[in-house]
Amino acid sequence: MLGKILPLLLIVAGIAGGIGSGLYLRPDPPSDDAIAAAPDIPLPAGETMTSFEFPNQFMVPLVVEGRITGTMVLKLALEIPDSQHAAIAANAARLRDALLQVMFDHANSGGFEGTFTDHSKLGVLRRALLEASVKITGPGTVSRVLITDILRTGA
């Protein structure tokens, strides 16, 4: 009788230990202050900010176990100094490539699962998109990435 109960007790103890460890080792969510913090670009006197909106939507496949289960459709704009509009437009293809790679990485890490519109998840995505934009255009160009439309299709 004990020989039949002991394996069940070990299984239950293993599951409980795994759940407890997972909850204990889970990282703390980023604070709202850290997410909202965006670098402010000092503008020359008389400079105004404008936005550069990408003409086409970004489509990101959602892959689960090697199968496409859905698609994320996003429309992005970059907040930039008015004087940088021509430079950003000239680098639009390179920017689009870098931003797509960030979104692919975000999708592969589960960023578009569950409540993907949560402030902390979108904050992480915006910060990564901003870093990629500044890497392509250089410092002092892009001050913020704006997600103007977002839609998830499929499961």
Q: Each residue of 107-142: pLDDT tens digit? A: 998 888 888 888 888 889 999 999 999 999 988 889
Query: Which tokens is 146 given?
Result: 């704006």
Domain boundaries, the chain: 32-154
Q: DSSP letters along 50-101, please? A: EEEE-SS-EEEEEEETTEEEEEEEEEEEEEEEGGGHHHHHHTHHHHHHHHHH
Task: List the chain pLDDT tens, one digit each, 155 residues.
Answer: 767 787 777 787 888 777 877 767 666 655 555 545 545 555 556 678 899 999 999 999 998 888 889 999 999 999 999 888 898 999 999 999 999 999 999 999 888 888 888 888 888 999 999 999 999 998 888 989 999 999 998 86
Q: Residue 51 in contact with residue 34, Cβ under 8 Å?
A: no
3-state secondary structure of 38: coil
Residue closest to 113 by CA, chosen among 147, 143, 152, 68? 152
Pick the CATH number of 32-154 from 3.40.720, 3.40.50, 3.30.479, 1.10.3470: 3.30.479
